[in-house]
Amino acid sequence: MIGMSSVLMTVFPSKAPWMMDGFFTPVIAFEFVQSQSEVRKLFGLPDAPDQFSMVRAMDFGNKLDYIYMVLYASFLFFFSIVCAKITGQKYYYAASFLSVVILIADAVENIQLLKITAKIIHQDFSKELCLLHWFTWIKWGGITVVFLILAPYFLKGRTYSKLIAVTGVSCFVLSVFAYFNRSVLNEMMGQSIALMFVMMIVYSFIYKTESEK
């Protein structure tokens, strides 16, 4: 996950001719666009000389993202299953099921993104924008709900574990506010989710069973 995330950071465009207020990451701005005019301004159409290189970079990143989505969804899936087995509580299987839903939503989201860039110059892509909105939020919102489901597990642990729980709940709260107010909150949500993944990965390496403590 960490390796693939680093690769995507070098592939996706780091700058854009224009972004909505509060956004500073082009790919996140692309996922949360709301109109065809916003998409075209994001890519600098029709005036930016490097508009097509940005389209190619975005498309390449979204294609590679299929690898990343399988990795992070699998991580959430198996992490949740292990939590269920450790605690004996079937409640955590809900998070593993949701991980599959997130994977499907992310895959469909990327299909819409690729269709939009294919139609960006001369064709109407309002249908794709509508689908993009719903599947983007199923993905992002679903991830934060998984964190919320896992929060009780982390709350029972020590200081670092409790910190993960607080971060996970914060991700969910940010997602709710971002849904109703598209702004820098969307970027903050993305950053907090990335932090949560890192914290969970570290936890996976430092966790010890009762017999090992």
CA 191 from centre of chain? 9
**pLDDT tens column, 75-104:** 999 999 999 999 999 999 999 999 999 999
> Per the domain annotation, does 142 fall within a domain?
yes
- The answer as to whether 210 is a domain residue is no
What confidence score (pLDDT) does residue 42 get?
A: 95
Residue 211 domain-assigned (yes or no): no
- Residue 117 or residue 210, greater confidence: 117
In a domain, 194, yes or no: yes
Long-range contact pairs involving 152-155 (C-beta distance under 8 Å, separation at least 24): 153/83, 153/86, 153/87, 153/92, 154/203
What are the tens digits of pLDDT across the range 38-75? 999 999 877 666 788 899 999 999 999 999 999 999 99
Instruction: Evaluate whether residue 213 is within a structural domain.
Output: no
Assess contact for 142 and 98: CB atoms under 8 A. yes
How many domains, in total, are found in the chain? Answer: 1
pLDDT for res 47: 65
Q: Which domain holds residue 194?
A: 2-205
pLDDT category of residue 30 using cuts at 50, 70 and 90:
very high
